[in-house]
With several copies, the nearest count.
Chain A
Protein backbone atom coordinates (compact mmCIF):
# COMPACT_ATOMS: atom_id res chain seq x y z
CA UNK A 1 0.00 0.00 0.00
CA UNK A 2 2.87 2.37 0.64
CA UNK A 3 4.01 2.20 -2.94
CA UNK A 4 0.57 2.99 -4.29
CA UNK A 5 0.10 5.74 -1.72
CA UNK A 6 3.43 7.24 -2.65
CA UNK A 7 2.71 7.16 -6.35
CA UNK A 8 -0.59 8.86 -5.78
CA UNK A 9 0.99 11.46 -3.53
CA UNK A 10 3.74 12.09 -6.06
CA UNK A 11 1.19 12.45 -8.82
CA UNK A 12 -0.97 14.86 -6.90
CA UNK A 13 1.79 16.75 -5.16
CA UNK A 14 4.59 17.08 -7.62
CA UNK A 15 2.96 16.43 -10.97
CA UNK A 16 -0.38 18.11 -10.30
CA UNK A 17 1.14 20.72 -8.02
CA UNK A 18 -1.01 20.52 -4.92
CA UNK A 19 0.15 20.10 -1.34
CA UNK A 20 0.06 16.53 -0.10
CA UNK A 21 0.84 14.73 3.07
CA UNK A 22 1.04 10.98 2.99
CA UNK A 23 1.22 8.89 6.14
CA UNK A 24 0.95 5.21 6.81
CA UNK A 25 0.26 2.67 9.49
CA UNK A 26 2.54 -0.24 10.06
CA UNK A 27 1.85 -3.52 11.72
CA UNK A 28 3.52 -4.12 15.04
CA UNK A 29 6.94 -4.33 13.40
CA UNK A 30 8.55 -2.49 10.54
CA UNK A 31 9.57 -5.41 8.39
CA UNK A 32 6.12 -6.24 7.12
CA UNK A 33 5.60 -2.88 5.51
CA UNK A 34 2.59 -0.75 6.06
CA UNK A 35 -0.94 -1.96 5.75
CA UNK A 36 -2.61 1.39 5.33
CA UNK A 37 -1.74 4.60 3.60
CA UNK A 38 -3.41 7.95 4.19
CA UNK A 39 -3.29 10.98 1.97
CA UNK A 40 -4.25 14.55 2.71
CA UNK A 41 -4.48 16.88 -0.27
CA UNK A 42 -4.88 20.63 -0.15
CA UNK A 43 -4.13 23.64 -2.22
CA UNK A 44 -3.18 25.48 0.97
CA UNK A 45 -0.95 24.54 3.90
CA UNK A 46 -1.71 21.17 5.42
CA UNK A 47 -1.93 21.32 9.19
CA UNK A 48 -3.01 18.04 10.70
CA UNK A 49 -1.26 15.38 8.62
CA UNK A 50 -3.86 12.63 8.81
CA UNK A 51 -7.29 12.71 7.20
CA UNK A 52 -10.07 13.20 9.71
CA UNK A 53 -12.92 12.40 7.33
CA UNK A 54 -12.29 10.58 4.08
CA UNK A 55 -13.24 11.90 0.66
CA UNK A 56 -12.08 8.71 -0.94
CA UNK A 57 -11.55 5.23 0.45
CA UNK A 58 -9.84 2.51 -1.50
CA UNK A 59 -10.27 -0.81 0.29
CA UNK A 60 -8.60 -3.91 -1.01
CA UNK A 61 -9.72 -6.19 1.81
CA UNK A 62 -12.93 -6.75 3.68
CA UNK A 63 -11.22 -5.83 6.92
CA UNK A 64 -10.02 -2.51 5.55
CA UNK A 65 -13.46 -1.75 4.24
CA UNK A 66 -15.12 -2.52 7.55
CA UNK A 67 -12.61 -0.59 9.60
CA UNK A 68 -12.34 2.58 7.61
CA UNK A 69 -15.77 2.91 6.06
CA UNK A 70 -17.18 4.79 9.07
CA UNK A 71 -14.66 7.58 8.42
CA UNK A 72 -15.88 8.11 4.87
CA UNK A 73 -17.83 11.30 4.29
CA UNK A 74 -21.51 11.09 3.31
CA UNK A 75 -20.63 12.07 -0.21
CA UNK A 76 -17.27 10.29 -0.22
CA UNK A 77 -16.23 7.84 -2.87
CA UNK A 78 -15.71 4.19 -1.97
CA UNK A 79 -13.71 1.97 -4.28
CA UNK A 80 -13.25 -1.70 -3.42
CA UNK A 81 -11.73 -4.81 -4.82
CA UNK A 82 -14.94 -6.60 -5.58
CA UNK A 83 -13.18 -9.94 -5.69
CA UNK A 84 -12.13 -9.67 -2.05
CA UNK A 85 -14.73 -7.44 -0.48
CA UNK A 86 -18.14 -9.01 -0.70
CA UNK A 87 -19.96 -7.46 2.23
CA UNK A 88 -20.51 -3.95 0.98
CA UNK A 89 -21.68 -1.11 3.15
CA UNK A 90 -24.84 0.67 2.23
CA UNK A 91 -23.25 3.29 0.04
CA UNK A 92 -22.49 4.17 -3.49
CA UNK A 93 -19.66 1.78 -4.25
CA UNK A 94 -17.36 1.34 -7.18
CA UNK A 95 -16.31 -2.26 -7.25
CA UNK A 96 -13.75 -3.81 -9.55
CA UNK A 97 -11.96 -7.13 -9.17
CA UNK A 98 -8.53 -5.47 -9.13
CA UNK A 99 -6.60 -8.42 -7.85
CA UNK A 100 -8.27 -10.79 -10.26
CA UNK A 101 -7.58 -8.51 -13.18
CA UNK A 102 -4.01 -8.00 -12.09
CA UNK A 103 -3.42 -11.72 -11.91
CA UNK A 104 -5.22 -12.50 -15.12
CA UNK A 105 -4.07 -9.68 -17.29
CA UNK A 106 -0.66 -8.74 -15.97
CA UNK A 107 0.32 -11.97 -14.33
CA UNK A 108 0.92 -10.74 -10.81
CA UNK A 109 -1.46 -9.67 -8.09
CA UNK A 110 1.14 -7.16 -6.94
CA UNK A 111 -0.08 -4.46 -9.32
CA UNK A 112 -3.70 -4.62 -8.14
CA UNK A 113 -3.35 -1.34 -6.30
CA UNK A 114 -1.89 0.41 -9.31
CA UNK A 115 -4.88 -0.66 -11.37
CA UNK A 116 -6.93 0.84 -8.58
CA UNK A 117 -5.02 4.12 -8.95
CA UNK A 118 -5.92 4.14 -12.61
CA UNK A 119 -9.52 3.67 -11.60
CA UNK A 120 -9.25 6.58 -9.17
CA UNK A 121 -7.84 8.84 -11.87
CA UNK A 122 -10.74 7.92 -14.12
CA UNK A 123 -13.46 8.15 -11.49
CA UNK A 124 -12.45 11.26 -9.61
CA UNK A 125 -10.72 14.58 -10.09
CA UNK A 126 -8.25 13.90 -7.34
CA UNK A 127 -5.42 13.07 -9.67
CA UNK A 128 -4.76 13.67 -13.33
CA UNK A 129 -4.10 10.77 -15.59
CA UNK A 130 -0.91 12.34 -16.86
CA UNK A 131 0.30 13.07 -13.35
CA UNK A 132 -0.31 9.49 -12.37
CA UNK A 133 1.64 8.06 -15.27
CA UNK A 134 4.54 10.45 -14.66
CA UNK A 135 4.60 9.53 -11.02
CA UNK A 136 4.67 5.84 -11.84
CA UNK A 137 7.58 6.35 -14.19
CA UNK A 138 9.47 8.10 -11.42
CA UNK A 139 8.65 5.87 -8.50
CA UNK A 140 8.39 2.36 -9.88
CA UNK A 141 11.32 0.15 -8.95
CA UNK A 142 13.64 -0.54 -11.85
CA UNK A 143 12.29 -3.16 -14.18
CA UNK A 144 8.69 -2.79 -13.05
CA UNK A 145 7.94 0.50 -14.79
CA UNK A 146 6.27 -1.11 -17.79
CA UNK A 147 3.94 -3.38 -15.94
CA UNK A 148 2.94 -0.63 -13.57
CA UNK A 149 2.18 1.77 -16.37
CA UNK A 150 0.17 -0.94 -18.06
CA UNK A 151 -1.70 -1.55 -14.82
CA UNK A 152 -2.61 2.10 -14.48
CA UNK A 153 -3.82 2.22 -18.06
CA UNK A 154 -5.85 -0.89 -17.42
CA UNK A 155 -7.50 0.67 -14.40
CA UNK A 156 -8.25 3.76 -16.34
CA UNK A 157 -9.78 1.96 -19.30
CA UNK A 158 -11.70 -0.44 -17.14
CA UNK A 159 -13.48 2.41 -15.49
CA UNK A 160 -14.12 4.23 -18.69
CA UNK A 161 -15.58 1.05 -20.12
CA UNK A 162 -17.81 0.61 -17.13
CA UNK A 163 -18.90 4.21 -17.27
CA UNK A 164 -19.71 3.82 -20.92
CA UNK A 165 -21.50 0.55 -20.24
CA UNK A 166 -23.54 2.23 -17.57
CA UNK A 167 -24.38 5.10 -19.87
CA UNK A 168 -25.52 2.70 -22.52
CA UNK A 169 -27.80 0.89 -20.16
Chain B
Protein backbone atom coordinates (compact mmCIF):
# COMPACT_ATOMS: atom_id res chain seq x y z
CA UNK B 1 0.00 0.00 0.00
CA UNK B 2 1.66 3.17 -1.15
CA UNK B 3 0.89 6.01 1.15
CA UNK B 4 2.84 8.93 -0.22
CA UNK B 5 0.71 11.90 -0.95
CA UNK B 6 1.05 13.88 -4.16
CA UNK B 7 3.61 16.57 -3.57
CA UNK B 8 6.80 18.16 -4.86
CA UNK B 9 7.67 18.90 -8.44
CA UNK B 10 10.52 16.49 -8.79
CA UNK B 11 9.99 12.97 -7.61
CA UNK B 12 11.12 9.42 -8.16
CA UNK B 13 7.94 7.60 -8.96
CA UNK B 14 6.60 4.33 -10.28
CA UNK B 15 5.14 4.24 -13.80
CA UNK B 16 1.82 2.95 -12.57
CA UNK B 17 1.67 5.66 -9.94
CA UNK B 18 2.43 8.28 -12.56
CA UNK B 19 -0.51 7.00 -14.52
CA UNK B 20 -2.77 7.33 -11.48
CA UNK B 21 -1.51 10.81 -10.73
CA UNK B 22 -1.95 11.79 -14.36
CA UNK B 23 -5.55 10.74 -14.11
CA UNK B 24 -6.13 12.90 -11.08
CA UNK B 25 -4.39 15.80 -12.74
CA UNK B 26 -6.64 15.38 -15.77
CA UNK B 27 -9.69 15.66 -13.59
CA UNK B 28 -10.52 11.98 -13.22
CA UNK B 29 -12.76 11.59 -10.21
CA UNK B 30 -13.98 8.04 -10.62
CA UNK B 31 -12.12 4.79 -10.89
CA UNK B 32 -13.63 1.33 -10.98
CA UNK B 33 -11.35 -1.64 -11.39
CA UNK B 34 -10.43 -5.17 -10.57
CA UNK B 35 -6.90 -6.09 -9.48
CA UNK B 36 -4.62 -7.67 -12.00
CA UNK B 37 -0.87 -7.86 -12.27
CA UNK B 38 0.90 -5.72 -13.46
CA UNK B 39 -1.67 -2.93 -13.32
CA UNK B 40 -2.78 -3.21 -9.70
CA UNK B 41 -0.72 -0.32 -8.34
CA UNK B 42 -2.82 2.09 -10.38
CA UNK B 43 -5.88 0.98 -8.47
CA UNK B 44 -4.06 0.95 -5.17
CA UNK B 45 -2.81 4.51 -5.58
CA UNK B 46 -6.23 5.75 -6.62
CA UNK B 47 -7.94 3.97 -3.73
CA UNK B 48 -5.74 6.12 -1.53
CA UNK B 49 -5.70 9.37 -3.48
CA UNK B 50 -9.13 9.77 -5.05
CA UNK B 51 -11.12 10.29 -1.85
CA UNK B 52 -8.68 13.03 -0.92
CA UNK B 53 -9.82 15.06 -3.92
CA UNK B 54 -13.47 14.16 -3.61
CA UNK B 55 -13.26 11.37 -6.15
CA UNK B 56 -14.64 7.88 -5.89
CA UNK B 57 -12.81 4.59 -6.05
CA UNK B 58 -14.59 1.29 -6.25
CA UNK B 59 -13.32 -2.22 -6.66
CA UNK B 60 -15.87 -4.09 -8.72
CA UNK B 61 -16.57 -7.80 -8.93
CA UNK B 62 -14.77 -8.16 -12.26
CA UNK B 63 -13.43 -6.23 -15.23
CA UNK B 64 -16.72 -6.30 -17.10
CA UNK B 65 -18.44 -4.59 -14.21
CA UNK B 66 -15.51 -2.21 -13.84
CA UNK B 67 -15.84 -0.76 -17.30
CA UNK B 68 -19.63 -0.73 -16.94
CA UNK B 69 -19.35 1.36 -13.79
CA UNK B 70 -16.85 3.65 -15.49
CA UNK B 71 -19.28 4.23 -18.34
CA UNK B 72 -22.11 4.80 -15.88
CA UNK B 73 -20.07 7.36 -13.95
CA UNK B 74 -19.03 9.15 -17.12
CA UNK B 75 -22.62 9.37 -18.26
CA UNK B 76 -23.33 10.91 -14.87
CA UNK B 77 -20.81 13.60 -15.73
CA UNK B 78 -17.65 12.45 -13.96
CA UNK B 79 -14.39 11.76 -15.75
CA UNK B 80 -13.70 8.10 -15.25
CA UNK B 81 -11.05 5.47 -15.74
CA UNK B 82 -10.21 1.83 -15.28
CA UNK B 83 -6.92 -0.04 -15.50
CA UNK B 84 -6.24 -3.65 -16.29
CA UNK B 85 -4.01 -6.07 -18.12
CA UNK B 86 -4.45 -8.69 -20.88
CA UNK B 87 -7.09 -11.05 -19.47
CA UNK B 88 -9.07 -8.17 -18.04
CA UNK B 89 -8.72 -6.23 -21.28
CA UNK B 90 -10.20 -9.18 -23.16
CA UNK B 91 -13.12 -9.23 -20.78
CA UNK B 92 -13.69 -5.52 -21.29
CA UNK B 93 -14.09 -5.81 -25.04
CA UNK B 94 -17.87 -5.85 -25.08
CA UNK B 95 -18.02 -2.66 -23.07
CA UNK B 96 -15.30 -0.94 -25.05
CA UNK B 97 -17.62 -1.38 -27.99
CA UNK B 98 -20.50 -0.03 -25.93
CA UNK B 99 -18.57 3.08 -24.92
CA UNK B 100 -17.63 3.61 -28.55
CA UNK B 101 -21.19 3.16 -29.81
CA UNK B 102 -22.75 5.24 -27.06
CA UNK B 103 -19.94 7.82 -27.40
CA UNK B 104 -19.04 7.83 -23.74
CA UNK B 105 -15.69 9.37 -22.85
CA UNK B 106 -13.56 7.17 -20.61
CA UNK B 107 -9.99 5.98 -20.28
CA UNK B 108 -8.83 2.38 -20.17
CA UNK B 109 -5.27 1.66 -19.17
CA UNK B 110 -3.90 -1.68 -20.30
CA UNK B 111 -0.59 -2.47 -18.65
CA UNK B 112 0.49 -5.16 -21.06
CA UNK B 113 1.96 -8.43 -19.83
CA UNK B 114 3.00 -11.63 -21.58
CA UNK B 115 0.24 -13.50 -23.37
CA UNK B 116 -1.72 -15.15 -24.76
CA UNK B 117 -4.09 -16.25 -21.99
CA UNK B 118 -2.78 -16.03 -18.43
CA UNK B 119 0.65 -16.04 -20.00
CA UNK B 120 3.31 -14.27 -17.97
CA UNK B 121 1.72 -11.98 -15.42
CA UNK B 122 4.96 -10.35 -14.31
CA UNK B 123 6.68 -10.08 -17.68
CA UNK B 124 6.46 -7.66 -20.52
CA UNK B 125 4.94 -7.89 -23.98
CA UNK B 126 3.42 -5.51 -26.52
CA UNK B 127 1.09 -8.06 -27.93
CA UNK B 128 -2.24 -6.35 -27.26
CA UNK B 129 -1.56 -3.69 -29.87
CA UNK B 130 -3.85 -5.12 -32.51
CA UNK B 131 -6.43 -6.10 -29.91
CA UNK B 132 -6.64 -2.46 -28.88
CA UNK B 133 -7.85 -1.75 -32.41
CA UNK B 134 -9.89 -4.83 -33.23
CA UNK B 135 -10.85 -6.48 -29.96
CA UNK B 136 -14.53 -5.74 -29.95
CA UNK B 137 -17.10 -6.90 -32.48
CA UNK B 138 -18.29 -4.61 -35.23
CA UNK B 139 -16.44 -1.74 -36.82
CA UNK B 140 -14.49 0.11 -34.20
CA UNK B 141 -12.02 2.98 -34.37
CA UNK B 142 -9.61 3.11 -31.50
CA UNK B 143 -7.46 5.77 -29.99
CA UNK B 144 -4.50 4.29 -28.16
CA UNK B 145 -1.43 5.96 -26.68
CA UNK B 146 1.82 4.21 -25.81
CA UNK B 147 4.05 5.78 -23.16
CA UNK B 148 7.71 4.81 -23.00
CA UNK B 149 8.69 6.41 -19.73
CA UNK B 150 7.32 7.21 -16.32
CA UNK B 151 6.90 10.84 -17.25
CA UNK B 152 4.92 9.80 -20.30
CA UNK B 153 2.70 7.62 -18.13
CA UNK B 154 1.72 10.84 -16.41
CA UNK B 155 1.35 13.01 -19.48
CA UNK B 156 -0.24 10.44 -21.75
CA UNK B 157 -2.90 9.66 -19.20
CA UNK B 158 -3.79 13.34 -19.14
CA UNK B 159 -3.80 13.38 -22.92
CA UNK B 160 -5.96 10.27 -22.99
CA UNK B 161 -8.57 12.07 -20.91
CA UNK B 162 -8.34 15.12 -23.11
CA UNK B 163 -8.82 13.15 -26.32
CA UNK B 164 -11.58 11.14 -24.75
CA UNK B 165 -13.46 14.24 -23.70
CA UNK B 166 -12.81 16.04 -26.93
CA UNK B 167 -14.00 13.22 -29.15
CA UNK B 168 -16.50 11.53 -26.83
CA UNK B 169 -14.88 8.16 -27.25
CA UNK B 170 -13.01 5.63 -25.12
CA UNK B 171 -9.24 6.08 -25.17
CA UNK B 172 -6.77 3.34 -24.37
CA UNK B 173 -3.42 3.87 -22.71
CA UNK B 174 -1.27 0.93 -23.79
CA UNK B 175 1.48 0.75 -21.26
CA UNK B 176 3.42 -2.35 -20.24
CA UNK B 177 4.90 -4.22 -17.34
CA UNK B 178 8.30 -2.56 -17.59
CA UNK B 179 7.04 1.01 -17.86
CA UNK B 180 4.43 0.32 -15.22
CA UNK B 181 6.89 -1.12 -12.73
CA UNK B 182 9.75 1.24 -13.47
CA UNK B 183 10.75 4.15 -11.26
CA UNK B 184 12.10 7.32 -12.78
CA UNK B 185 12.53 10.84 -11.67
CA UNK B 186 9.76 12.97 -13.05
CA UNK B 187 9.50 16.72 -13.00
CA UNK B 188 5.85 17.47 -12.52
CA UNK B 189 4.22 20.53 -13.99
CA UNK B 190 2.20 22.94 -11.88
CA UNK B 191 -1.46 22.22 -12.33
CA UNK B 192 -1.82 25.57 -14.07
CA UNK B 193 0.59 24.34 -16.70
CA UNK B 194 -1.53 21.32 -17.53
CA UNK B 195 -3.94 21.69 -20.41
CA UNK B 196 -7.29 20.14 -19.64
CA UNK B 197 -10.09 19.55 -22.12
CA UNK B 198 -13.62 18.96 -20.93
CA UNK B 199 -16.49 17.54 -22.91
CA UNK B 200 -18.53 20.09 -24.79
CA UNK B 201 -21.86 20.90 -23.16
CA UNK B 202 -25.08 21.55 -25.01
CA UNK B 203 -26.31 25.10 -25.29
CA UNK B 204 -29.69 24.33 -26.80
CA UNK B 205 -32.95 24.05 -24.93
CA UNK B 206 -33.51 20.51 -23.62
CA UNK B 207 -36.44 20.15 -25.98
CA UNK B 208 -34.09 20.49 -28.91
CA UNK B 209 -31.23 18.52 -27.48
CA UNK B 210 -29.99 15.49 -29.38
CA UNK B 211 -27.45 13.49 -27.46
CA UNK B 212 -26.03 12.04 -30.66
CA UNK B 213 -26.52 15.06 -32.87
CA UNK B 214 -24.88 14.71 -36.26
CA UNK B 215 -22.83 17.79 -37.06
CA UNK B 216 -19.83 18.67 -39.20
CA UNK B 217 -17.44 18.03 -36.31
CA UNK B 218 -18.77 14.51 -35.74
CA UNK B 219 -18.77 15.19 -31.99
CA UNK B 220 -22.04 15.98 -30.27
CA UNK B 221 -22.31 18.13 -27.15
CA UNK B 222 -22.83 15.93 -24.13
CA UNK B 223 -25.26 16.60 -21.33
CA UNK B 224 -24.92 14.49 -18.23
CA UNK B 225 -27.65 12.64 -16.45
CA UNK B 226 -29.34 14.91 -13.98
CA UNK B 227 -28.59 18.12 -15.84
CA UNK B 228 -32.09 18.57 -17.13
CA UNK B 229 -31.66 16.97 -20.51
CA UNK B 230 -33.49 13.71 -20.53
CA UNK B 231 -32.30 11.47 -23.29
CA UNK B 232 -31.78 7.83 -24.08
CA UNK B 233 -28.49 5.98 -24.45
CA UNK B 234 -28.34 2.57 -26.06
CA UNK B 235 -25.88 0.15 -27.59
CA UNK B 236 -28.40 -0.56 -30.32
CA UNK B 237 -27.81 1.34 -33.52
CA UNK B 238 -29.66 4.60 -32.96
CA UNK B 239 -30.83 7.87 -34.39
CA UNK B 240 -29.31 11.19 -33.33
CA UNK B 241 -31.94 11.37 -30.61
CA UNK B 242 -30.68 8.13 -29.08
CA UNK B 243 -33.62 5.93 -29.98
CA UNK B 244 -33.04 2.64 -31.77
CA UNK B 245 -33.31 2.56 -35.52
CA UNK B 246 -33.07 -0.01 -38.26
CA UNK B 247 -33.21 2.42 -41.17
CA UNK B 248 -30.22 1.86 -43.44
CA UNK B 249 -29.64 5.56 -43.96
CA UNK B 250 -29.60 6.27 -40.26
CA UNK B 251 -27.36 3.29 -39.60
CA UNK B 252 -24.83 4.47 -42.11
CA UNK B 253 -24.98 7.99 -40.78
CA UNK B 254 -24.23 6.79 -37.27
CA UNK B 255 -21.40 4.47 -38.24
CA UNK B 256 -19.88 7.10 -40.51
CA UNK B 257 -19.94 9.57 -37.67
CA UNK B 258 -18.13 7.13 -35.40
CA UNK B 259 -15.53 6.51 -38.05
CA UNK B 260 -15.06 10.07 -39.19
CA UNK B 261 -14.51 11.53 -35.80
CA UNK B 262 -11.36 9.47 -35.66
CA UNK B 263 -10.23 9.37 -39.28
CA UNK B 264 -10.88 13.07 -39.94
CA UNK B 265 -8.88 14.03 -36.89
CA UNK B 266 -5.83 11.87 -37.30
CA UNK B 267 -3.64 14.94 -37.41
CA UNK B 268 -4.91 16.15 -34.10
CA UNK B 269 -4.87 12.77 -32.42
CA UNK B 270 -1.61 11.33 -33.65
CA UNK B 271 1.67 12.42 -32.15
CA UNK B 272 4.95 11.09 -33.43
CA UNK B 273 8.40 11.64 -32.05
CA UNK B 274 11.26 11.54 -34.51
CA UNK B 275 14.97 11.34 -34.06
CA UNK B 276 17.37 12.00 -36.93
CA UNK B 277 14.61 11.62 -39.45
CA UNK B 278 15.55 14.69 -41.49
CA UNK B 279 18.12 12.80 -43.50
CA UNK B 280 17.54 9.17 -42.52
CA UNK B 281 17.48 6.41 -45.12
CA UNK B 282 16.83 3.78 -42.53
CA UNK B 283 14.19 4.13 -39.87
CA UNK B 284 13.50 2.14 -36.80
CA UNK B 285 9.80 2.19 -36.11
CA UNK B 286 9.17 1.48 -32.44
CA UNK B 287 6.65 2.41 -29.79
CA UNK B 288 6.39 2.21 -26.03
CA UNK B 289 9.36 0.92 -24.12
CA UNK B 290 11.06 -0.43 -27.24
CA UNK B 291 11.43 3.09 -28.60
CA UNK B 292 14.01 3.74 -25.89
CA UNK B 293 16.24 0.92 -27.03
CA UNK B 294 15.64 2.11 -30.58
CA UNK B 295 16.68 5.64 -29.74
CA UNK B 296 19.91 4.36 -28.27
CA UNK B 297 20.40 2.14 -31.31
CA UNK B 298 20.04 4.96 -33.81
CA UNK B 299 22.53 6.98 -31.82
CA UNK B 300 24.90 4.03 -32.06
CA UNK B 301 24.26 3.87 -35.79
CA UNK B 302 24.89 7.56 -36.26
CA UNK B 303 28.20 7.14 -34.50
CA UNK B 304 29.04 4.63 -37.20
CA UNK B 305 27.83 7.11 -39.82
CA UNK B 306 24.80 5.06 -40.70
CA UNK B 307 21.92 7.36 -41.61
CA UNK B 308 19.39 5.81 -39.31
CA UNK B 309 16.51 7.50 -37.56
CA UNK B 310 13.71 6.73 -35.18
CA UNK B 311 9.98 6.97 -35.77
CA UNK B 312 8.19 6.63 -32.44
CA UNK B 313 4.41 6.85 -32.71
CA UNK B 314 3.23 8.11 -29.35
CA UNK B 315 -0.25 7.39 -30.58
CA UNK B 316 -0.40 3.87 -31.96
CA UNK B 317 -4.05 4.15 -33.01
CA UNK B 318 -5.23 5.61 -35.27
CA UNK B 319 -2.32 4.59 -37.42
CA UNK B 320 -0.74 7.60 -39.16
CA UNK B 321 -1.30 6.40 -42.73
CA UNK B 322 -0.49 9.64 -44.51
CA UNK B 323 2.55 10.43 -42.41
CA UNK B 324 3.98 7.00 -42.93
CA UNK B 325 3.30 6.97 -46.66
CA UNK B 326 5.19 10.20 -46.86
CA UNK B 327 8.07 8.90 -44.75
CA UNK B 328 8.34 5.71 -46.71
CA UNK B 329 9.03 7.78 -49.81
CA UNK B 330 12.26 8.85 -48.22
CA UNK B 331 13.31 5.52 -46.77
CA UNK B 332 15.07 2.46 -48.07
CA UNK B 333 14.46 0.38 -45.04
CA UNK B 334 12.16 0.37 -42.05
CA UNK B 335 12.81 -1.91 -39.13
CA UNK B 336 9.73 -2.39 -37.01
CA UNK B 337 10.80 -3.48 -33.54
CA UNK B 338 8.08 -4.88 -31.32
CA UNK B 339 7.69 -7.17 -28.33
CA UNK B 340 5.32 -9.47 -30.17
CA UNK B 341 5.23 -11.73 -33.20
CA UNK B 342 4.63 -8.85 -35.58
CA UNK B 343 1.63 -6.60 -35.15
CA UNK B 344 2.13 -2.96 -36.04
CA UNK B 345 4.49 -4.05 -38.79
CA UNK B 346 1.39 -5.13 -40.67
CA UNK B 347 0.19 -1.56 -40.71
CA UNK B 348 3.54 -0.31 -41.95
CA UNK B 349 3.41 -2.92 -44.70
CA UNK B 350 -0.12 -1.93 -45.51
CA UNK B 351 0.78 1.66 -46.27
CA UNK B 352 4.04 0.73 -47.93
CA UNK B 353 3.79 0.86 -51.69
CA UNK B 354 6.56 -1.64 -52.21
CA UNK B 355 9.40 0.82 -52.51
CA UNK B 356 10.75 0.41 -49.04
CA UNK B 357 11.99 -2.74 -47.42
CA UNK B 358 10.09 -3.42 -44.23
CA UNK B 359 11.66 -5.79 -41.74
CA UNK B 360 10.49 -6.94 -38.36
CA UNK B 361 12.56 -7.29 -35.23
CA UNK B 362 10.42 -9.25 -32.88
CA UNK B 363 10.97 -10.54 -29.43
CA UNK B 364 8.36 -12.35 -27.39
CA UNK B 365 10.30 -14.30 -24.83
CA UNK B 366 9.58 -11.88 -21.98
CA UNK B 367 12.82 -9.94 -22.38
CA UNK B 368 13.30 -6.46 -23.78
CA UNK B 369 14.78 -5.82 -27.19
CA UNK B 370 18.20 -4.30 -26.52
CA UNK B 371 19.77 -1.36 -28.30
CA UNK B 372 22.44 -3.70 -29.53
CA UNK B 373 19.95 -6.04 -31.14
CA UNK B 374 18.42 -3.18 -33.04
CA UNK B 375 21.79 -1.83 -34.03
CA UNK B 376 22.84 -5.25 -35.32
CA UNK B 377 19.62 -5.50 -37.28
CA UNK B 378 20.29 -2.13 -38.85
CA UNK B 379 23.75 -3.32 -39.84
CA UNK B 380 22.51 -6.60 -41.23
CA UNK B 381 19.65 -5.24 -43.24
CA UNK B 382 21.04 -1.95 -44.48
On A, residues with C-beta under 8 Å from B are: 5-6, 9-10, 13-14, 19-30, 46-50, 52, 142
Known: A22-B182, A23-B181. A50 touches B122 (CB 8 A): no
* CB contact list, B11-30 vs A, under 8 A: 11-12
CB within 8 A of A28: which of B11, B12, B244?
Answer: B244
For the complex formed, measure the closest distance between the CB of A47 and the CB atoms of chain B, giving whole angstroms: 4
Taking A20-B183, A47-B295, A142-B3 as known contacts, 14 extra A-B pairs with beta carbons closer than 8 A to each other, sorted by chain A number, are: A9-B183, A10-B12, A14-B10, A19-B184, A20-B184, A22-B184, A26-B123, A26-B181, A28-B244, A28-B246, A30-B121, A46-B292, A47-B292, A48-B371
Least Cβ–Cβ distance between A165 and chain B, in angstroms: 35
CA gap between A19 and B11 in the complex, in Å: 11
User: Which B residues touch A28, using CB under 8 A?
Assistant: 120-122, 236, 244, 246
Taking a contact as CB atoms closer than 8 A, the residue among B38, B40, B178, B246 that contacts A49 in the complex is B178
Q: Pick 9 A–B contacts, CB within 8 A, sort by A.
A: A9-B12, A14-B10, A21-B183, A46-B184, A47-B292, A48-B292, A48-B371, A49-B149, A52-B370
From A13, A23, A30, give the contact of B178 (CB < 8 A): A23
B296 touches A47 (CB 8 A): yes
Residues of chain A within 8 A of B40, CB atoms compared: 30
Residues of A within 8 A of B296 (CB): 47-48
Closest 10 CB pairs of A and B: A26-B122, A47-B296, A30-B37, A13-B185, A22-B183, A10-B12, A47-B295, A48-B293, A13-B12, A47-B292
Report the separation of the CA atoms of residues A24 and B41 in the bound assembly, to the nearest whole angstrom: 15
Q: Does B281 contact A (CB under 8 A)?
A: no
- Do B122 and A47 touch (CB < 8 A)? no
Interface 0/1 of B155-194, CB less than 8 Å to A:
0000000000000000000000010011111000000000
Chain B residue, CB-CB nearest to A40: B184
Say how far A116's CB is from chain B's closest CB, in angstroms.
19
Chain A nearest CB from B104 CB (Å) reads 22
The range of chain B's interface size is 20 to 34
Residue of B nearest to A47 (CB): B296
Residues of B within 8 A of A23 (CB): 178, 181-183
Choose from B3, B184, B371 the contact partner of A52 (Cβ within 8 Å). Answer: B371
| Chain B residues within 8 Å of A, Cβ to Cβ | 3, 10-12, 37-38, 40, 120-123, 149, 178, 181-185, 236, 244, 246, 289, 292-293, 295-296, 299, 368, 370-372
The answer, among A20, A22, A27, A30, for a CB contact under 8 Å with B38, is A30
The residue of chain A having its C-beta at the shortest distance from the C-beta of B294 within the complex is A47
Q: Distance (Å) between the CB of B119 and the closest chain A CB?
A: 11
Rounded to whole Å, the gap between the CB of B299 and the closest CB of chain A is 7
Query: Measured between C-beta atoms, what is the minimum distance from A1 to chain B in Å?
Result: 13
B183 cross-chain contacts in A, Cβ below 8 A = 5-6, 9, 20-23
Cα A19 to Cα B185 in complex, Å, equals 6
Question: Closest residue of chain B to A19, judged by CB?
Answer: B185
Complex CA gap A29/B37 in Å reads 8
Q: How far is the CA of A50 from the CA of B124 in the complex (A)?
A: 13
Complex CA gap A27/B149 in Å reads: 23
B371 contacts across to A, CB distance below 8 A: 47-48, 52
User: Nearest chain B CB to A53's CB is how many angstroms away?
Assistant: 11
Cα–Cα, bound, A46→B178 (Å): 15
A21-B182, A52-B371 in contact; A47/B121 too (CB < 8 A)?
no
The reply to whether A50 and B368 form a contact with Cβ atoms under 8 Å apart is yes
Residues of the A chain whose Cβ atoms lie less than 8 Å from the Cβ of B289? 49
Most chain B CB inside 10 Å of its own CB: which residue of A19, A21, A47: A47
